[in-house]
């Protein structure tokens, strides 16, 4: 099971956090501090895994952004490495060649996408197409809702609900 | 020019810059990005949070604005700041009907609230409503929130609806419903135990995504209780076979692998189901063999599947052919240049040697390379492997290595782990007593504060009892060498507290045993210990008890004990200590010195720690006393179970209080009232002062009075004042909470226990962990016999480290005989090393190696389940796969069976992902990776984005030109 997902920049700035196991706000900042110290200091040729407090943290670097996932000791590290890549590929497809800036400004969208891939710390969908379709459906609905916000049909829909 | 820039920026922001965010948010992110330090960042966020706190509370905030505020709060919270004042607004937002707002609300609450937050109760109703919505996207959003927010108490509120959603026409909803049920199972297994059949049903879902999601809960259920799911083995094997044969839709392919994530999950499940089950494992051999043959070593995901297959093969009932293939794959991992693969290889090797220790033989050089690697992660993994293959001949090399590494690291968590491993190995395989004691000394010296107290107790026990031989001489030699080394170590200025405790105990018990050191010398040393820097109360207690023991031995021998001045001052100091335990010990010692030698000998016999203490749990020795008391009119003791009827009223009260304190909604019926014995005990022993006070007839008040009035009587102790205060107490007691005074009786008994037991206190402690150690010894036999065989091969004839080996093999280790006695080798597969021992098991294994009998059984169920994954598989993808993989398949087979490394050309195109890992440093791979993933940088797109970024002027990290590069290179 994945305990948390962490996106940090090379300067140690937090870009995205998602916690699947309970951590208090204090623990969270401690975790982030510890891990960014641990991971950012590692050289390029070393393992993409770090053993940490009885857990394993799998990380992968894309440009200046580190994607980290913390897993239990008996999970398959290579698989997690690929789940990270899976996530990045979907982000890439969604944003059209994704860059760090996209994630900074659209972090809530990144959350929506992550929610379609992982749920409760487990991989729920391994098909890129399915995820993309769901996200697109949500987006189109959002757009439609924006347009219809004050339209008559919307009011009727609300009354009949 | 400057003006132009600003105009452009304003324009871009004015039109929301295409990012759909407000200007304020963009400004916030921008200023955060430009912050030079964490402190500056904190200042900006704090200012932002303050302004949000003000504005969010204004009446009639427009919806769009509110959404923006909430997103900014999420951002602040993400950066580690408290935004709890906004939680309620996020909750309110989930009530909105408009989907964009609702989604934002749900996103915010899932990020803000933990599962035991008070506000969750306000969302449950909304979730219930949304789960019934016609719009499947609303249902999806609600289910995602369910997974995060619903806790054990609220599960019943949404459970029926979630179960209904398992039959929803949309596969996305079914999938999320399965995951929600999985989450419920993790929270409270009992709440969904009656729904397990639903998971089985979903396994046959027409949508592969739902099927894949169902594997998650099934994996958990099977790891809890594998036996109830043995009937699913054939289904799982069937599914795995179909997946491996590319029958799933193409969209599940990932880097040319067929649905690898589903394969991995299935392999994990099969590993659980097949472990120790010959019949179930028999069904799996064929498909596992297929996966090995089709395995793809050039891509990362291929290796992930391969690794999982190795894990599975090493977990199920052994099959010679598969193990061979697994060993082959492992050696490829170990020989790889990638650190990741080496790491996986070391891990896989650790699994394989459990079945066949010989596997490690050919990899010793690779393993030693990993051990010397600068990469810490790899090193630690290798230590784990060494730990698994330690035995009496190589224990010295391995433990010394571990200690060397332990001294140099600062990570306390890992230090603890490696220290306890050192201790464990030393206890099991120590070749000599001196070595054992030295090793333990080193461990305690460098990690004494980190190791478990149990370890110290074990060490004391081992020194007291020896290694189980009956040889008295060896034992006393062990003890005196321990005493020698401890006296030497005491010169060190700083020692961990736990280590000092051990030293004190050993010096007390055996310091004067061999007559080498005088009592005065040892006592002097012990006094020095108490003056050391890190000396806490526990160490002082150990030291004073040790002094007492030495004095006792001296007195028993008939010698006179002269009190050293420093010792006397220590006693004086401790008898006025604020710790009652220390006081007690000091007074005991003083009393002791005045006793006759015979009495002393009885109280403190020599080497008493080795005597077993018998505990009479029924307290039979009290029978006479009880009998006498009953005859004198005392009321007989009523066991707790029979007391239940007596205290219903008070019980009701306590139940009510409990209810009030938890103040959560409860969905289940109230429990039946249970008796609470605490209220009864004081009733039995009603103290006399109550007589002049109580006009209250009810029993509840009665018992309460006794409780409350007892408290002052304990604290004050002066009965005159007591009488005056009584009325006041009555008032307080009637409205106050019930106090803990009922424990005053027991507390006094414990203190008396201490006085009687005080002398033997330490001995009692050391005898307690004995059972634990015995237990751990009993658990070992499975592994150790294999370990022995392995180490003989690993460190027996290698070119790697000959000097150390030679010394370790020369010494005939004692542990050897002990280990040989243990039963084991039942799972060993190596025929030539264990022919005689494992004679009956070898034909079995060969039997399993034959695929013929098993293959017939597999074909049928597979056909039955052929339609399981639905009508999607069509012949065309099959053809495709043949076309695409036509070249590789023979190659890989050749690679597996003729030990050829996969050719470089194929890894160029397929394995670009491995290179991707380091995409920051490389640029050349982009060309190859782009076509293989069928997407990637669209130059126009990124140009446009760059331009936009420049317009907005957002330069979060100006010093890093790489920043705006596309993530995928």
Secondary structure string (H, E, C) spanning B706-775: HHHHHHHHHHHCCHHHHHHHHHHHHHHHHHCCCCCHHHHHHHHHHHHHHHHHHHHHHHHHHHCCHHHHHH
DSSP secondary structure string, B422-491?
HHHHHHHH-SSHHHHHHHHHHHHHHHTTTS-HHHHHHHHHHHHHTTS---HHHHHHHHHHHHHHHHHHTT
Partner residue opposite B147 with nearest CB, options A14, A102, A120: A120
d(CA B542, CA B549): 11
Q: What pLDDT score does B609 carry?
A: 67
Chain A environment of B21 (Cβ under 8 Å): 105
Q: What φ, ψ does residue B909 adopt, rounded to 5°?
A: -90, -40
Flag if B965 and A89 touch (Cβ within 8 Å). no
Give the distance, in angstroms, between the CA of residue A57 and the centroid of all CA atoms in the same chain: 15
User: Per residue in B756-809, pLDDT tens?
Assistant: 443 434 343 344 444 444 444 444 444 445 444 444 444 554 333 333 333 333
Tell me how far apart the alpha carbons of residues B943 and A91 are, in angstroms, rounded to a whole number. Answer: 18
Q: Any chain A CB within 8 A of the CB of B252?
A: yes
**pLDDT above 90 for A66:** yes
Chain B residue closest to A62 (CA)?
A: B967
Per-position b or e across B619-634, b if 16+ CB within 10 A of its CB: eeeeeeeeeeeeeeee
Kindly report, residue by residue over B917-941, the tens digit of the pLDDT.
Answer: 334 344 444 344 444 444 444 556 6
Contacts of B32 (CB under 8 A, 6+ apart): A13, B41, B44, B45, B79, B956
d(CA B606, CA B608): 5
Whole-number Å distance between alpha carbons of B679 and A95:
67
Task: Quote the radius of gyration of chain B (alpha carbons, Å).
Answer: 36
* Contact call for A79 and B71, based on CB within 8 A: no
CB pairs under 8 A between A and B: 257
Characterize B883-909 residue by residue with b for buried, 16 or more Cβ atoms within 10 angstroms of its Cβ, and e for exposed.
eebeebeeebeebbeeeeebeeebbee
User: Using CA atoms, how far apart are residues B546 and B540, in angstroms rounded to an integer?
Assistant: 10
Q: How confident is the model at residue B396 (pLDDT cuts 50, 70, 90)?
A: confident
Is the Cβ–Cβ distance between B392 and B815 less than 8 Å? yes
CA distance A48 to B339: 8
Token pair for residue B227? 């036996």
Residue B666, C-beta contacts closer than 8 angstroms, at least 6 positions apart: B153
Query: In the prediction, which pLDDT does B832 show?
Result: 43
Confirm or reject contact between A65 and chain B (CB < 8 A): yes
pLDDT tens by residue, B242-271: 988 888 888 888 888 888 899 999 999 999
Q: Which residue in B401, B778, B725, B761 sits closest to B588, CA to CA?
A: B761
**The pLDDT of residue B384 is above 70:** yes
Q: Would you put residue B467 in left (φ > 0), alpha (ψ -120 to 50) or beta?
A: alpha
Among A44, A63, A72, pick the best mutation site for testing chain B contact (most B Cβ within 10 A).
A63
Interface residue B39 vs chain A (CB under 8 A): no
Q: pLDDT band at residue A55, thresholds of 50, 70 and 90?
A: very high
The answer, yes or no, to whether residue B817 has pLDDT greater than 50, is: no
CA distances, B895 to each of A18, B888, B891, B898 (Å)? 42, 10, 6, 6
Residue B308 pLDDT level (bands cut at 50, 70, 90): very high
Per-residue buried b or exposed e for B922-933, using 16+ beta carbons within 10 Å of the residue's own CB: eeebbeebbebb
What confidence tier does A68 reach under pLDDT thresholds 50, 70, 90? Answer: very high
ipTM given for this complex = 0.89
Q: Do B377 and A32 touch (CB under 8 A)?
A: no
Task: Give the whole-angstrom CA distance, residue B478 versus residue B462.
Answer: 10
Token pair of B353 as six digits: 């040697």
**Higher pLDDT pick, B308 / B923:** B308
How high does pLDDT run on average in chain B? 70
Report whether B722 contacts B689 (CB < 8 A): yes
Structural contact between residues B55 and B102, judged by C-beta atoms closer than 8 angstroms: no
pLDDT at res. B575: 84
Those residues whose C-beta lies under 8 Å from the C-beta of residue B676, and which sit 6 or more positions away, are B647, B650, B651, B654
CA–CA distance, B888 with B121 (Å, rounded to integer):
57
Q: Do A104 and B956 touch (CB under 8 A)?
A: yes
Question: Of the given ranges (A87-101, B260-274, B398-412, B652-666), which has the lowest mean pLDDT?
Answer: B652-666
Q: Residue A134: closest CA among chain B residues belongs to which residue?
A: B172
Whether B378 and chain A come into contact, CB under 8 Å, resolves to yes
* Listed range (A5-9, B280-284, B344-348, B898-902) with the worst mean pLDDT: B898-902
Look up tokens 């109550």; give the residue. B690
Measured between CB atoms, does A148 come within 8 Å of chain B?
no
Distance (Å, whole) CA B501 – CA B480? 17
- Give the pLDDT band (50/70/90) at residue B28: confident
Contacts of A115 in chain B (CB under 8 A): 107, 110, 144
- The Cα-based distances of B966 to A64, A91, A98 in angstroms read 9, 11, 6
**What is the distance between the alpha carbons of residues B468 and B863, in angstroms, rounded to a whole number?**
60
CA B727, CA B682: separation in Å to the nearest integer? 20
**Distance of alpha carbon B495 from alpha carbon B35, whole angstroms:** 45
The per-residue pLDDT for range B639-655, each reduced to its tens digit, is: 777 776 555 444 444 44
Pair type for strands A55-62 and A118-119: unpaired
Give the mean model confidence (pLDDT) for residues B845-863. Answer: 40
Q: If you search the block for the tokens 């039946």, which residue do you land on?
A: B672
A chain contacts of residue B343, beta-carbon cutoff 8 Å = 47, 49, 77
Q: Do B319 and B848 form a contact (C-beta atoms < 8 A)?
A: yes
Contact A125 B209 (CB under 8 A): yes
Does the beta carbon of B949 lie under 8 angstroms from any beta carbon of chain A? yes
pLDDT score at A148:
57
Q: Are B105 and B70 in contact (CB under 8 A)?
A: yes
Give the mean pLDDT of B579-596: 84
Q: What is the pLDDT of residue B934?
A: 43
Higher pLDDT, A161 or B120: B120
Contact residues on chain A for B917, CB-CB shorter than 8 A = 48, 60-61, 81
The residue among B239 and B713 whose pLDDT is bigger is B239
Residue B177 pLDDT: 92
B635's enclosing H/E stretch is none
In the predicted structure, residue A146 carries a pLDDT above the cut 50: yes
Answer for the pair B419, B730: CB distance below 8 angstroms, yes or no: no
User: Which is more confident, B705 or B331?
Assistant: B331
Residue A50: strand pairing partners: A57
Separation CA B692–CA B612 (nearest Å):
51
pLDDT tens for residues B537-552? 888 888 888 888 888 8
Q: Give dist(CA B573, CA B535) in Å, integer.
A: 14
Tokens representing B207?
């949508």
Calpha distance A52→B72 (Å, rounded): 31
Provide the pLDDT for residue B469: 58
For the segment B208-232, the average pLDDT, to the nearest whole number, is: 89
Q: Is the dihedral of CA B433, B439, B444, B450 positive or negative?
A: negative
Whether B80 sits inside 8 A of A14 (CB atoms) is yes
What residues contact B75, with CB distance under 8 A and at least 6 apart?
A107, B25, B28, B29
pLDDT of A15 strictly over 60 = yes
Of the two residues B69 and B513, the one the predictor is more confident about is B69
Give the phi and the psi of residue A52 in degrees, each rounded to 5: -150, 115
Residue A51 burial (CB count, 10 A): 20
Q: Taking CA atoms, what residue in B is nearest to A137?
A: B137
The confidence score (pLDDT) of residue B949 equals 55
**What pLDDT sits at residue B580?**
87
Confidence bin at B667 (pLDDT 50/70/90): low
pLDDT digits 0-9 by tens, B505-521: 888 888 877 777 888 88
pLDDT at B370 over 80: yes
């Amino acid at each position: 099971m994945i305990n948390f997902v962490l996106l940090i920049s090379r300067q140690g700035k937090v870009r995205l956090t998602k916690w699947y196991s309970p951590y208090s706000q204090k623990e969270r900042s401690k975790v982030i501090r510890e891990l960014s110290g641990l991971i950012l200091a590692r050289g390029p040729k070393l393992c993409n895994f770090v053993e940490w407090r009885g857990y394993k943290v799998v990380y992968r670097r894309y440009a200046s952004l580190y994607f980290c996932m913390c897993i239990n000791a008996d999970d398959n590290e290579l698989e997690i490495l690929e789940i990270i890549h899976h996530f990045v590929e979907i982000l890439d497809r969604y944003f059209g060649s994704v860059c760090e800036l996209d994630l900074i400004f659209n972090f809530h969208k990144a959350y929506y996408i992550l929610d379609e891939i992982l749920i409760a710390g487990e991989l729920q969908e391994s098909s890129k197409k399915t995820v993309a379709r769901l996200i697109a459906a949500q987006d189109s609905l959002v757009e439609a809702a924006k347009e219809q916000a004050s339209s008559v049909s919307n009011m009727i829909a609300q009354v009949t609900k | 020019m400057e003006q132009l820039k600003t105009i452009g920026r304003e324009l871009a922001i004015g039109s929301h810059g295409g990012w759909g965010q407000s200007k304020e948010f963009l400004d916030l992110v921008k200023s955060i990005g430009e912050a030079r330090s964490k402190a500056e960042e904190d200042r900006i966020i704090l200012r932002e949070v303050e302004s949000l706190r003000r504005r969010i509370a204004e009446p009639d905030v427009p919806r769009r604005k509110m959404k923006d505020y909430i997103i900014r709060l999420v951002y602040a919270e993400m950066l580690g700041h408290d935004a709890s004042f906004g939680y309620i607004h996020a909750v309110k937002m989930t009530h909105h009907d408009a989907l964009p707002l609702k989604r934002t609300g749900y996103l915010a609450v899932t990020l803000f609230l933990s599962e035991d937050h008070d506000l969750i109760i306000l969302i449950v109703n909304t979730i219930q409503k949304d789960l019934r919505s016609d719009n499947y996207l609303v249902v999806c959003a609600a289910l995602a929130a369910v997974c995060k927010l619903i806790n054990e108490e609220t599960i019943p509120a949404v459970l029926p609806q979630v179960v209904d959603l398992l039959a929803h026409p949309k596969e996305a909803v079914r999938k999320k419903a399965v995951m929600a049920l999985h989450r419920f199972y993790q929270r409270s297994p009992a709440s969904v135990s009656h729904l397990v059949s639903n998971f089985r049903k979903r396994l046959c879902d027409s949508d592969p995504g739902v099927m894949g999601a169902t594997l998650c809960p099934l994996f958990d259920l099977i790891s809890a209780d594998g036996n109830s799911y043995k009937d699913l083995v054939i289904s799982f094997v069937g599914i795995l076979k179909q997946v491996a044969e590319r029958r799933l839709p193409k969209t599940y392919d990932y880097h040319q692998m067929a649905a690898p994530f589903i394969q991995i999950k299935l392999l994990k499940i099969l590993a659980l189901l097949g472990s120790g089950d010959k019949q179930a494992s028999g069904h799996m051999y064929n498909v596992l063999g297929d996966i090995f043959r089709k395995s793809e070593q050039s891509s990362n995901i291929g290796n992930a599947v391969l690794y999982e297959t190795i894990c599975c093969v090493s977990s199920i009932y052994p099959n010679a052919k598969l193990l061979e293939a697994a060993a082959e794959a492992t050696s490829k991992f170990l020989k790889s240049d990638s650190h990741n693969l080496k790491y996986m290889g070391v891990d896989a090797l650790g699994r394989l040697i459990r079945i066949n220790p010989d596997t490690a033989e050919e990899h010793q050089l690779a393993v030693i390379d990993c051990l010397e690697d600068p990469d810490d992660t790899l090193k630690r993994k290798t230590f784990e492997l060494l730990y698994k293959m330690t035995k009496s001949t190589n224990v010295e090399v391995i433990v010394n290595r571990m200690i060397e590494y332990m001294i140099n690291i600062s990570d306390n968590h890992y230090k603890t782990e490696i220290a306890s491993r050192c201790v464990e190995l030393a206890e099991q395989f120590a070749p000599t007593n001196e070595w054992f004691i030295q090793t333990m000394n080193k461990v305690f010296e460098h990690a004494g504060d980190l190791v478990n107290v149990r370890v110290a107790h074990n060490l004391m026990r081992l020194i007291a009892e020896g290694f189980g031989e009956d040889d008295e001489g060896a034992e006393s030699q062990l003890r005196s060498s321990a005493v020698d080394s401890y006296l030497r170590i005491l010169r060190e200025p700083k020692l961990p507290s736990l280590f000092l405790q051990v030293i004190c105990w050993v010096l007390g018990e055996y310091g004067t045993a061999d007559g080498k050191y005088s009592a005065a010398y040892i006592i002097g040393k012990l006094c020095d210990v108490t003056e050391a820097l890190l000396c806490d109360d526990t160490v002082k207690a150990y030291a004073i008890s040790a002094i007492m023991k030495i004095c006792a031995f001296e007195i028993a021998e008939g010698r006179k004990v002269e009190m050293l001045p420093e010792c006397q001052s220590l006693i004086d100091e401790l008898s006025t200590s604020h710790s009652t335990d220390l006081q007690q010990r000091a007074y005991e010692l003083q009393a002791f010195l005045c006793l006759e030698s015979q009495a002393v000998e009885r109280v403190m016999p020599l080497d008493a720690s080795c005597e077993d203490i018998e505990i009479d749990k029924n307290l039979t020795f009290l029978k006479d006393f009880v009998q006498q008391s009953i005859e004198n009119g005392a009321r007989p003791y009523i066991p707790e179970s029979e007391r239940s009827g007596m205290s219903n009223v008070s019980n009701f009260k306590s139940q009510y209080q409990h209810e009030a304190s938890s103040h959560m909604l409860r969905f289940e019926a109230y429990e039946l009232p249970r008796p609470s014995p605490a209220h009864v005990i004081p009733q039995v022993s009603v103290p006399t002062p109550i007589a002049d006070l109580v006009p209250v007839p009810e029993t509840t008040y009665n018992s309460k009075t006794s409780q409350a009035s007892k408290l002052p009587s304990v604290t004050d102790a002066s009965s005159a004042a007591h009488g005056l205060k009584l009325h006041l107490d009555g008032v307080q007691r009637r409205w106050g909470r019930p106090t803990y005074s009922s424990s005053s009786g027991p507390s006094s008994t414990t203190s008396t226990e201490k006085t009687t037991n005080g002398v033997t206190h330490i001995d009692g402690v050391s005898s307690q962990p004995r059972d634990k150690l015995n237990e751990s010894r009993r658990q070992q036999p499975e592994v150790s016999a294999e370990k022995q065989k392995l180490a003989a091969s690993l460190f027996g004839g290698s070119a790697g480290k000959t000097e150390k080996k030679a010394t370790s093999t020369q010494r005939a280790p004692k542990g050897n005989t002990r280990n040989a006695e243990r039963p084991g080798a039942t799972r060993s597969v190596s025929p030539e090393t264990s022919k005689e021992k494992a004679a009956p098991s070898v034909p079995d294994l060969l039997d399993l190696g034959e695929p013929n009998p098993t293959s017939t059984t597999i074909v049928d169920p597979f056909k039955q389940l052929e339609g399981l994954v639905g009508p999607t598989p069509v012949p065309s993808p099959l053809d495709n796969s043949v076309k695409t993989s036509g070249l590789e398949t023979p190659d890989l087979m050749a690679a597996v069976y003729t030990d050829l490394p996969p050719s470089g050309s194929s890894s160029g195109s397929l394995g670009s992902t491995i290179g991707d890992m380091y995409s920051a440093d490389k640029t050349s791979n982009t060309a190859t990776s782009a076509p293989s993933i069928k997407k990637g940088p669209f130059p126009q797109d990124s140009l446009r984005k760059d331009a936009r970024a420049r317009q907005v002027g957002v330069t979060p990290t100006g010093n890093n030109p790489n920043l705006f590069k596309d993530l995928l290179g």
